[in-house]
Amino acid sequence: MKFILVAAVASLGGLLFGYDTGVISGALPFLKHDFALGPRMQGVATSAVLVGATLGAAGAGAVSDMFGRRRVILFVGLLFIAGALGSAAAPALSVLLAGRAVVGVAIGIASMLTPLYLSEIAPKERRGGIVSLNQFCITLGILVSYLVDYALAGATDNWRWMLGLGAVPGLVLFLGMLTLPESPRWLAGEGRTEAARAALVRMRRPDEVEPELAELRTDLRHDGRLVPWSALLSGPARKPLIVGVALAVFQQVTGINTVLYYAPAIFLSAGLSSASVSILATAGVGLVNVIMTVVAMRLLDVAGRRALLLWGLGGMIVMLLVLAAGFAFGNGGWVALMTIPSVAAYVGFFAIGLGPVFWLLISEIFPLAVRGRGMSIASVANWGSNFIVTLVFPPLVAALGTATAFLVFAVLSVAAFVFTWQIVPETNGRSLEEIEAQLEGRVQAAPYHA
């Protein structure tokens, strides 16, 4: 029970990640009106948070390796509070963009550090479900943001309230992390054995503490802490880096965040009657996202990571083709009715595959000596891709049409499916130390199946 409490508090970083990325979808129609935003500036307003996220992710690995996971997450809580309040109080567009960039830095750090912290405190037989708590909280945060957007759609200064309410979970995260232990793996890597033992005592049964501590020590004997960044490009870290960066890019170029950010605009273009109705439809999609993430949490430690990736990508491909075909025939009428369930199904398939599995895998596959930096590079690739796709989506739709945009996403999803089938390993049921030994060739890899 005490371990579940630790994991639940740490996962609030995911809730903030979800809320602050999702809230812009409902705020954007009102920002567009108040600041007279054209297609290009809509992309800038939406992607401002992504610039900060890329910068935050870039430094998160090295900083967390230096100062520890817990201290940096505490700092993230303060950044969320400052960025949310600054965005809400913004008197001009430039100030709003700066506030959203600060929120983005916090999101970038949290996106990498929350699954890292969870993976390092979780027992191996429950790691998939525990780390995917982060993804559950992301989807829950997105749903909450949609419901807040709908509830405040008719309020005065609605977008200010939408953005400002992100300070509340930021405060809860900060206060909650004050009570949590540091990662025992990080402590052991720093030579602080007694502190690592004390952290394990807070999260494990008495009979589990010494065996796990011994496993950490064994892993560290194979692992020099002071290794250069170049170590990521050779030896046992090279394949994890290829897998992590490729999945990071595929998670974005297959279209998920453009759908989440621009869902109300997509529904309006399909023929729904008003902004508030389209926001409500988007909230329904957010609910599907949460439900399917719960399904993924139950399956990750049973079906395995690879199988969920492949099934999820297959479903995404089908739904993207359906959406492309629907928009090719125009809008209104049956297209509007078809769009909502098709978008919901697309998001649902993402929620059982690329959504949770990407963040889980990058927290598992890197060697301890470069885990923080490896995850940081993968996270930068993720947020950089997110930024580019989000920035170009409105002009792409304006130039080529929504149908073509969905068709491009479908083709890229096929590429992701092929890469997963050929390259991505299975990590289910292995400790982090066993995964590292497998990738180094110190132990024989167990066979896995799609």
Name all contacts of 237-243 with Cβ < 8 Å and 24+ positions apart.
Answer: 237/366, 237/367, 237/370, 237/374, 239/365, 239/425, 239/439, 240/362, 240/365, 240/366, 240/367, 240/374, 240/439, 241/366, 241/374, 241/377, 241/378, 242/423, 243/361, 243/365, 243/423, 243/424, 243/425
pTM value > 0.85? no
Residues 6+ apart with CB under 8 A from 126: 301
Query: Is the Cα torsion angle 333, 334, 339, 345 positive or negative in sign?
Result: positive
| Per-residue model confidence as pLDDT tens digits over 103-133 | 999 988 988 888 888 888 877 777 777 777 8
What pLDDT sits at residue 447? 41
What pLDDT sits at residue 362? 85
Catalogue all structural domains in the chain, each as residue range(s) with its CATH number. 2-440 (1.20.1250.20)
What pLDDT sits at residue 266? 65
Is 350 in contact with 312 (CB distance < 8 Å)?
Answer: yes
Residues 6+ apart with CB under 8 A from 447: none
What pLDDT sits at residue 450? 40
pLDDT tens for the chain, 450 residues long, are 466 777 778 788 888 888 887 788 778 878 887 887 777 787 777 778 888 888 888 888 788 888 888 899 999 999 999 999 999 998 888 898 999 999 999 988 988 888 888 888 877 777 777 777 887 888 888 888 888 888 887 788 888 999 999 898 889 889 988 888 888 888 887 888 888 888 888 877 787 788 878 777 665 554 545 566 666 777 677 888 898 999 999 999 998 877 766 666 666 665 555 556 666 666 777 788 889 988 988 888 788 888 899 999 999 999 999 888 877 776 555 665 677 788 889 999 999 999 888 888 888 888 777 777 888 889 889 888 887 887 777 777 778 887 888 899 999 999 999 999 988 887 776 666 666 666 665 544 444 344
